Chain A
Amino acid sequence: MSTATQTAPGDFWEVEPHHHHEGASTSIGFWIYLMSDCLMFAVLFAVFGVLGGSYAAGPGPKDLFDLELVALNTAFLLLSSITYGFAMLAMVKENTRGTLMWLGITLVFGLLFLAVEIYEFQHLIHLGAGPQRSAFLSAFFALVGTHGLHVAFGCLWLVTLMIQIRQRGLIPANRRRLACLSMFWHFLDVIWIGVFTFVYLLGMI
């Protein structure tokens, strides 16, 4: 009976060290990076929240923003999210051609989003509503510009991955990279929900 009350080493900790295969902790590490990126956006949103009403007698959101353009951009980003999802599904099915095709479509939507955003920015600057015009516009360009920069780097990453998949196929390393970019891409769409809600829609009410 005395042995029953004693605890064997394996009761509370693992006796045998177990090995993680290469890249097992990549997804949690990348998630923590995304969370820190999220905090950076939180600060930019806070800046916009504080300065968003300081027009310095200049133009406000209602004079500047075109909601139809924003709706178009939102549609591009949302479509790119689902096409990336289809790329991931093709990857799971070992379908290299399908993966590349869906990644290509995602890239097109990403570039269309950037094109519309660059058009909007240069239109605003042309109107004299550049980032130096007022605190509101500085905060606007900082927030929306940072998001646009993320999308631009996401597109660059997408091109790099497409080349790697074309050269090496869907090897484990490429699958891991695709999974990371998938998180990054969907995360950017989540940030965009915040942008179009707090910057554009609430500004136009």
Chain B
Amino acid sequence: MTSIEAQGDKHRAERQAEAHGDQHDDGHDHGSVRSYLTGFILSVILTAIPFAIVMAGGFESRFLTAVVVVGMAIVQILVHMVYFLHMNTRSDEGWTMMALIFTVVILVIVLSGSLWVMYNMNTNMMPQMNHEALGLGS
């Protein structure tokens, strides 16, 4: 057997091992007490801070308050994904992650698109279209 053939056999064996590998046993990460507690403590902190900020009246700038609150929410969603939902790039050969990425893309388009279009509809509407100003409003 030539060395090239031997290499080919080795690669083939590796590929088949990958294809037949983990997915046949349970393959899911159930986490541990430690990982759940880590996720829980991080979530408590990431919930308590924005609530405390808003209850105390927020910062001087409303924009800054909003950015901090939304930032904490995004971090907390990631914490939940990792520690509670056990998201990773390996489960179901990466298809869970692909479905998630696809959903996030659609989600961003729906949210930003709706807000953008409806904001422009609101501000660029011609004055005579305003029924309340004409006394036609209910």
List the interface of chain A (C-beta within 8 A of B).
1, 3-4, 8, 10-11, 14, 18, 20-21, 24, 27-28, 31-32, 35, 38-39, 42-43, 45-47, 49-50, 67, 70-71, 74-75, 78, 81-82, 85-86, 88-89, 91-92, 179, 183, 186-187, 189-190, 193-194, 196-198, 201-202, 204-205
> When A and B form their complex, what is the total count of cross-chain residue pairs whose Cβ atoms lie within 8 Å?
140
Do A186 and B33 have beta carbons less than 8 Å apart? no
List the interface of chain B (C-beta within 8 A of A).
2, 4-5, 8, 11-12, 15-16, 19-20, 23-24, 28, 30-33, 36-37, 39-40, 43-44, 47, 50-51, 54-55, 58, 62, 65-66, 69-70, 72-73, 76-77, 80-81, 84-85, 91-92, 95-96, 99-100, 102-103, 106-107, 110-111, 114-115, 118
Q: Tell whether A14 pairs with B19 under 8 Å between CB atoms, given A28-B96, A179-B28, A189-B84.
A: yes
Do B55 and A67 have beta carbons less than 8 Å apart? yes
Q: Tell whether A35 pairs with B103 under 8 Å between CB atoms, given A1-B2, A67-B51, A189-B80.
A: yes
Q: Tell whether A78 pairs with B111 under 8 Å between CB atoms, given A179-B28, A205-B65.
A: no
Q: Tell whether A39 pairs with B107 under 8 Å between CB atoms, given A14-B16, A205-B62.
A: yes
Do B80 and A50 have beta carbons less than 8 Å apart? no
Q: Which residues of A contact B70 (CB under 8 A)?
A: 197-198, 202
Do B73 and A42 have beta carbons less than 8 Å apart? no
Q: How far is the CB of A73 from chain B (nearest CB, A)?
A: 11
Do B69 and A186 have beta carbons less than 8 Å apart? no
Do B73 and A197 have beta carbons less than 8 Å apart? yes
Tell me, in angstroms, the Cα distance from A109 to B80 when the chains sit together.
18
Q: Tell whether A42 pairs with B36 under 8 Å between CB atoms, given A35-B99, A187-B85.
A: no
Do B8 and A11 have beta carbons less than 8 Å apart? yes
Q: Tell whether A201 pairs with B76 under 8 Å between CB atoms, given A4-B5, A10-B12, A45-B111.
A: no
Tell me, in angstroms, the Cα distance from A151 to B47 when the chains sit together.
20
Q: Which residues of A contact B40 (CB under 8 A)?
A: 78, 81-82
